[in-house]
Amino acid sequence: MTNSTAPVRFLRAAERPATAWRNGGGVTREVTGFPEGAGLDDFRWRVSLADVAAAGPFSAFPGVERVITLIEGPGMALTVDGTEHVVDTPFRPFAFPGDAATDCRLLGGPLVDFNVMTRRGHATADLLLAEQPGPVPVPVDATVLLVCLSGTATLDGTLLTRYDAALLTTPATHELHPAGVTAVITFRS
C-alpha cells in the first residue's frame, strides 16, 4: 500500500551554501544532518556533497563511519591508514573509518563526491543507489533521505533535479521514479 500523504521535506540544491575547506582543497555543501543544527563534533549523521579541487589530507572524524561515492570527475586514490584504494568508478560507494589517517590524490582533475557519515554507537546508515522505479518504505524506527545524484527523479509526483533531496521522517511508503541515479539512505539511531 502506498501512502503519498505523509509529509516530505524537500531540500533544494540551489538553497545550499558552499563552505570552503580549511586546507583550501575544495568546498562542501551539507545536504542535511541530525540533529538539525548540529556541528561537525556533535552530529549523529550527516550527508554532504563535496567539490574536490586539490589533493590533500582528509579531516579526521573520530568515532565516525564514512561512505564516499564518486559522482563526477576522473576519481581519486585514497590512502587510508597506509593502504591505497582507487575510487574511480562513479556510483560505487567506498566505506572507511573517519578516524583513519586518510590522504587523497586526484586522478586527473577536480571531482564531486557524495558523503554519508554516521557516529558510531549513535546511528547507522544503509545506502542504496536506485536507478529503477519502486517503493521507498520509511520504517517506524528510521529516517530516509533521498538525494538525486544524476539526472532527475520524481517522488510521489514531485520533481527532484540534480542534487535535490527529500527527507522522509514519518512511517509510510513513497513512490520513487528515478531518471538517473538517486541515493536512498536509511538512518537508524
Given this chain, do its domains 8-13+123-188 and 16-119 carry the same CATH topology?
A: yes
Predicted confidence (pLDDT) per residue in 87-110, tens digit:
999 999 999 999 999 999 999 999
Residues contacting 58, CB < 8 A, separation 6+: 78, 102, 103, 104
Predicted confidence (pLDDT) per residue in 108-127, tens digit:
999 999 999 999 999 999 99
Predicted confidence (pLDDT) per residue in 50-91, tens digit:
999 999 998 889 999 999 999 999 999 999 999 999 999 999
- CB-hemisphere CA count at 13 Å for 36? 4
Provide the mean pLDDT of the chain.
94
Cβ atoms < 10 Å from Cβ of 116:
24
Query: Within its chain, how far is the Cα of 89 from the centroid?
Result: 16
Task: List the domain boundaries for the chain.
Answer: 8-13+123-188, 16-119
Q: Beta strand 134-138 with 102-106: parallel, antiparallel or unpaired?
A: unpaired
Looking at per-residue pLDDT, the higher value among 34 and 189 belongs to 34
Which CATH code fits 8-13+123-188?
A: 2.60.120.10
Residue 5 has pLDDT above 80, yes or no: no
Which CATH code fits 16-119?
A: 2.60.120.10
